[in-house]
Structure 1
Amino acid sequence: MKTFIAELKRRRVIRVAGAYAIVAFVIWQVAEIAFPALGFPDWTLAFIIVVTFLGFPIALVFAWAFEITPEGVRRTESVTKAADHSETKGRLVLMVAVAAAVALALSATWLVLRDISPTHSPEGKWIAVLPFTNMSAEPESEYFSDGITDDIITHLSKIADLDVISRTTVMRYKDTELSLRAIGEELGVATILEGGIRRVGDRVRINAQLIDAQTDAHLWAETYDRELTDIFAIQTDVAERIADALEATLTADEKARIERAPTEDLEAYDLYLRGRYFLNQRGEGIRQALTYFERALERDPDYARAHAGVADCFSLLGFYHYLRPKEAFPEARAAALRALELDGGLDEAHTSLAYVKAFFDWDALGAAAEVERALELHPNSPQALHWYAATLNMLEQPDEAVAQVERAVLIDPLSVMEAAGYAWTLINARRYAEARTRLQRAIELDPGFALAHWLLGEAHAYDSRIADSLSHYQRAVDLSDRYPWFVSSLGYALARRGDGSGARAILAELTERSHQEYISPFFLAVVHLGLGDKDKALDLFEDAFEERSPLLTGSHIGPFYDELRSEPRFMALVERIGLAAQASTE
């Protein structure tokens, strides 16, 4: 044994092993800090560790078999023990060990970067429709130009052979001074449509240009100067001319859907555009949007898209608990069904009905079928992809859910809502570090986006980082004017941090507020669970069940509920909800 150890020392195997281990450890520490900040997936750190482990025996074999000398690499057997270059050779061997570890790590990183590079380049049939400029004398006509932009995007998105950047992202380029080339590079698109709209009385003038984002060459241009009654024909013509310019296949079914006028009442259309404008603002804009959609339906009761708009408003009011779920979702269902009765090929109505089936009926299989139909009709709909991911989560298919939101983010890369949806899906998949990275990017886009701060708190709390979650929950509470859902999460985190008095103060606040506004029993349950009062929490979760709270849809999969899975009462509640049983049939 002594002879063997002496031989290991002579061949400097032990020294190489020590040097390799130290360098590998340093690489791991750097990767652990840097990779999340650079947006690398969770698996990349494990990949680096595995690669450096695999390189360890290779380095030892190399050290045993070879010696680095001033004359070059030579087999150890041919190197005499009396050589007087021992110190030089030792340093050279150590340098080789370090170089081997670093080379392996760099090779692994290159493979990682190659795999997570942008999923599409500015080639092919990717297109962005920039916000059309409002050239009218009235600034309040902004909603009209935005609405026309939105409708053109919708028309183009229904062509399966085109990939269209979503409205939320392109609206960030409103009044931008960036060149088309720069915008094309940022979005990864080959072509850009831009234009302007002037509305004067009953006439509208629209100019549009389709431009190669890399060369600035005009691929197509047209000016339309017509009566306002021709607005739908103009939108159809623009979509068809772009498809022709990009040599995109336009099926007969797609052509028929694009050419179908949504309403014959221009006043109803104007009210609908105002509704969509406010719905995109979220928050208090939801109620304003609902008012405009309902006014549009007073003008034209058969306006299918306005019925779908009503459905979306009620669904959001129910999901975020601005209204009791039992008040909001039945209204949403009726509106979605009426929209489909009027137009069975309306993709947004299928998406609206999917929302109700998932979050109120707790019918994930039915919801998945509806949203799959919506995606057949509108392959580029981020909203449909987003809700498809939600239903796949309910069906315990987290990897497929992540794939769907990745597609949504590809179409709508600058949308903070899609970034939040992506992070929410990653949290449900228990990929917390990735979620935190995504949320930091969303906050960079919109520092005042309360939902992103709340989700960042969730991504810390579920990852055993309660102390880190507190500041993010508090920020979400401050930004949202003490929205009850976010307040309850802050109470939970305070309790888990050991601040029982702070948590009970929040419980008292929510209880007091429940006398003036609707406070879901779910929110009270969250704080009681944080305080360790499981029996009271379960009482309130059962009350939330009776109210059909959409937040119970994660009870069979969500990390928040992990500590309750050993409780018979909770598991009985999960069974009554029925989503776990649906997941087992998939």
Structure 2
Amino acid sequence: MERDAVSGARPLEILARVAAQTGEADRAITALQKLLSTPYSGPLGPGAPLTPALLRLDPMFDPLRSDPRFEKIVKEAKEPVATTVPAKSIAVLPFENLSRDPDNAFFTDGVQDEILTDLARIAALKVISRTSVMQYKTGAKRNLRQIGNELGVAHVLEGSVQRVSNRVRVNAQLIDARTDAHLWAQTYDRDLADVFAIQSEIAKIIADQLQAKLSPSEKSAIEQPPTTDITAFNLYSHAKNLFLTAFAGTNGRADLLQAADLLKQAVTRDPLFFQAYCQLAFTEINIYGVLDHTPEYLAQAEAALQSAARLHPDAGETHLARARNFYWGYLDYDGALRELEIARQSLPGEDWIFSLKGYIERRQGSWKECIHDLERATELDPRNVLTLQQLAITYQQLRRYAQEKSTFERILAFEPNDPVTKSQHAFVELDSKADTRPLREVIDSIRDKNPAALPSITDNWLLCAFAERDPAAARKALIALGENPPSLGPISNGEVLNRPFMEGVIARVAKDDTKARSAFTAARELNQIMLRHCACLV
């Protein structure tokens, strides 16, 4: 628990559950007393820590209900201990591709992204991250006042790019989102090789229009072109698009692998393409940390980082890439925090710095700092579902239910039909008030209207069925899980609370002691096999 404040308490909860089922009341009660005073991420369902409300409903603790110590724990239902839009704030919306060749869409996205990246270097500005602005696609008429309100900015930049042979035309206009007033507009018609100079000019003009003073280092960074090779730039822009959308669809692994391949092509064409090396390191460490814990991906992330460091050892992007490798590759939290603090000096508008700091601070039990940094990340990237979910989970771990619920509502405001968020939002009522009705209604609605989404919310369905002592619904939820482990919290503990164990709990709820004993025996045998396998790997 000292090593990892988020997941360190999970084994203790598992011990409490198993001890309750095996009649070891003293051990279970001691564990529960510790757990109820500890913020952490639980091993079941959405990762909720145990609460008095959950204990009142959870059938795994039924053997303890006559124990006065348990009754005391259940009764002690205590929780642990509107913004103004800044004038110097802007969202760079996706630019329109006016070229006849649709393949130039990646080039257009790259132009927009470079302008956004340049502006985000300026400490005096609040600049919305690309993850949030990319959702406002071109084509349909935009309501700029509404967009400004949704993103929390006073200004928006719109534009278009047209590439014909070796010429490029870039149009940009700055608009006050509060009044719809056009503050500045310019069309640049130049040689294709001048496109990076155009991007730098636009960024400096926007800073001047918003009265944001540039430091010498900010001005120098903005004027530095990312590459001199347009084809390498296209490959890099395509890879960034794939990376940004990889975790939102069903082809995440394939998209990340393709992104890595495109970035390798980019740095082959231009071995001095610093930003491509940084993006390659980020892509490889995500593959290693999230998808495939194969050492070769960590080695490739390290190789890309070393290439970036040789080019610009003191750049904020280099320190950010090193922090990511420390965090995902080596679990070196202190090292990652040191690198992030250095990166923040030259990348004040980089939302990833704040979100990654928040994740590390959460693991270290620095809850106040974690909340502060995750909130800052959501200010810079207000439509990033992952960051908002992590903020909500943090409030859940602290048992701050009102903030947890309102954070899920922020997601539902722009993703109203997302089944996972809807079930998590409803789960707050079960978690805090032992009220299963909202969650059951959401599950019934998803079963009726969107059955394909059931596997993504069946953990909550299973917990709801347990809470209502409904063995038939619990069996249906377990079937809907398919081959997935039956306890998919933020990090699965399905190897411990395996499927036979859950079948045993269902049998207990159904008062079928013979079937329960058989299932628990099978669960123990599976765990013994797992332990022997682990011993062989040591």
For Structure 1 versus Structure 2, the TM-score category normalised by the shorter chain is 0.5 to 0.7
CA deviations on 1:439-476 (whole Å, 9 max, x unpaired) are: 24313422565664675587577658695668879969
Which has the greater radius of gyration? Answer: 1
2:211 paired residue number = 247
Aligned: 1:286 with 2:256: yes
CA deviations on 1:98-136 (whole Å, 9 max, x unpaired) are: xxxxxxxxxxxxxxxxxxx2x223x52112222212111
Task: Describe the shift of the 1:137–1:294 C-alpha distance in structure 2 as closer, same or farther (beyond 3 A).
Answer: same
Q: CA separation in 2, counterparts of 1:547 and 1:451?
A: 35
2:125 paired residue number = 162
1:430 paired residue number = 399
1:177 paired residue number = 141
2:374 pairs, out of 397, 405, 423, with 405
Q: CA separation in 1, counterparts of 2:451 and 2:163?
A: 41
Answer yes or no: is the 8 Å Cα contact 1:194–1:208 preserved in 2: yes
Q: Which moved more, 1:524-533 or 1:170-179?
A: 524-533
1:319 paired residue number = 289
CA deviations on 1:65-96 (whole Å, 9 max, x unpaired) are: xxxxxxxxxxxxxxxxxxxxxxxxxxxxxxxx
CA deviations on 1:245-302 (whole Å, 9 max, x unpaired) are: 2221211111121122222222111100000111111232323322221221222233
2:308 pairs, out of 339, 346, 353, with 339
Q: Which moved more, 1:493-502 or 1:402-411?
A: 493-502
Task: Describe the shift of the 1:466–1:157 C-alpha distance in structure 2 as closer, same or farther (beyond 3 A).
Answer: same
Task: Describe the shift of the 1:541–1:392 C-alpha distance in structure 2 as closer, same or farther (beyond 3 A).
Answer: farther
Aligned: 1:509 with 2:472: no
Aligned: 1:307 with 2:277: yes
| Gapped regions of structure 2 (runs ≥ 5) | 1-81, 486-490, 506-519
Q: CA separation in 1, counterparts of 2:171 and 2:92?
A: 13
2:340 paired residue number = 371
CA deviations on 1:511-564 (whole Å, 9 max, x unpaired) are: 8xxxxxxxx98543354676687976698699899999xxxxxxxxxxxxxxxx
| Paired residues for 1:83-482 under 5 Å | 117=82, 119-121=83-85, 123-175=86-138, 176-283=140-247, 284=252, 285-320=255-290, 322-324=291-293, 326-447=295-416, 449=418, 452=421, 456=425
Q: CA separation in 2, counterparts of 1:124 and 1:302?
A: 37
Q: CA separation in 2, counterparts of 1:256 and 1:408?
A: 26
Task: Describe the shift of the 1:292–1:488 C-alpha distance in structure 2 as closer, same or farther (beyond 3 A).
Answer: farther
Q: CA separation in 1, counterparts of 2:535 and 2:204?
A: 49
3-state DSSP class of the match of 1:280?
helix
CA deviations on 1:38-65 (whole Å, 9 max, x unpaired) are: xxxxxxxxxxxxxxxxxxxxxxxxxxxx
CA deviations on 1:17-44 (whole Å, 9 max, x unpaired) are: xxxxxxxxxxxxxxxxxxxxxxxxxxxx
Task: Describe the shift of the 1:222–1:495 C-alpha distance in structure 2 as closer, same or farther (beyond 3 A).
Answer: same
Answer yes or no: is the 8 Å Cα contact 1:526–1:537 preserved in 2: no
CA deviation after TM superposition for structure 1 residue 324, in Å: 2.4
Answer yes or no: is the 8 Å Cα contact 2:120–2:350 preserved in 1: yes
Q: CA separation in 1, counterparts of 2:439 and 2:304?
A: 39
Percent same amino acid at aligned positions?
A: 31
Answer yes or no: is the 8 Å Cα contact 2:458–2:478 preserved in 1: no
| Bigger relative contact order (CA 8 A; separation at least 6) | 2
Letter in 2 for 1:362: L
Answer yes or no: is the 8 Å Cα contact 1:389–1:425 preserved in 2: no
CA deviation after TM superposition for structure 1 residue 199, in Å: 1.0
CA deviations on 1:319-360 (whole Å, 9 max, x unpaired) are: 33x312545434333323432332234434433332332233
2:36 paired residue number = none
Q: TM-score, normalised by structure 1?
A: 0.62
CA deviation after TM superposition for structure 1 residue 222, in Å: 2.1
CA deviations on 1:395-440 (whole Å, 9 max, x unpaired) are: 2111211111211222222332332232233233332442233224
1:514 paired residue number = none
CA deviation after TM superposition for structure 1 residue 387, in Å: 0.9
Letter in 2 for 1:200: V
Answer yes or no: is the 8 Å Cα contact 2:375–2:391 preserved in 1: yes
Task: Describe the shift of the 1:317–1:249 C-alpha distance in structure 2 as closer, same or farther (beyond 3 A).
Answer: same
3-state DSSP class of the match of 1:302?
coil
3-state DSSP class of the match of 2:495?
helix
Q: TM-score, normalised by structure 2?
A: 0.67
Q: CA separation in 1, counterparts of 2:289 and 2:298?
A: 9
Letter in 2 for 1:305: Q
Task: Describe the shift of the 1:211–1:144 C-alpha distance in structure 2 as closer, same or farther (beyond 3 A).
Answer: same
Aligned length: 420
Letter in 2 for 1:293: L
Answer yes or no: is the 8 Å Cα contact 1:345–1:377 preserved in 2: no
Aligned: 1:524 with 2:487: no
Answer yes or no: is the 8 Å Cα contact 2:455–2:480 preserved in 1: no
Q: CA separation in 2, counterparts of 1:307 and 1:480?
A: 37
Task: Describe the shift of the 1:214–1:433 C-alpha distance in structure 2 as closer, same or farther (beyond 3 A).
Answer: closer
Q: Which moved more, 1:393-402 or 1:524-533?
A: 524-533
CA deviation after TM superposition for structure 1 residue 501, in Å: 5.5
Task: Describe the shift of the 1:405–1:147 C-alpha distance in structure 2 as closer, same or farther (beyond 3 A).
Answer: same
Q: CA separation in 2, counterparts of 1:547 and 1:442?
A: 42
CA deviations on 1:216-264 (whole Å, 9 max, x unpaired) are: 4443332211122112111111111111222212111111211222222
Task: Describe the shift of the 1:542–1:353 C-alpha distance in structure 2 as closer, same or farther (beyond 3 A).
Answer: farther
Q: CA separation in 2, counterparts of 1:209 and 1:403?
A: 34
3-state DSSP class of the match of 1:231?
helix
CA deviation after TM superposition for structure 1 residue 504, in Å: 7.0
Q: CA separation in 1, counterparts of 2:366 and 2:217?
A: 32
| Gapped regions of structure 1 (runs ≥ 5) | 1-116, 512-519, 549-586
Letter in 2 for 1:236: S
Q: CA separation in 1, counterparts of 2:531 and 2:399?
A: 23
Q: CA separation in 1, counterparts of 2:433 and 2:529?
A: 26
Task: Describe the shift of the 1:260–1:434 C-alpha distance in structure 2 as closer, same or farther (beyond 3 A).
Answer: same
Answer yes or no: is the 8 Å Cα contact 1:265–1:300 preserved in 2: yes
3-state DSSP class of the match of 2:90?
strand
3-state DSSP class of the match of 1:222?
strand
Q: CA separation in 1, counterparts of 2:442 and 2:328?
A: 26
Letter in 2 for 1:379: P
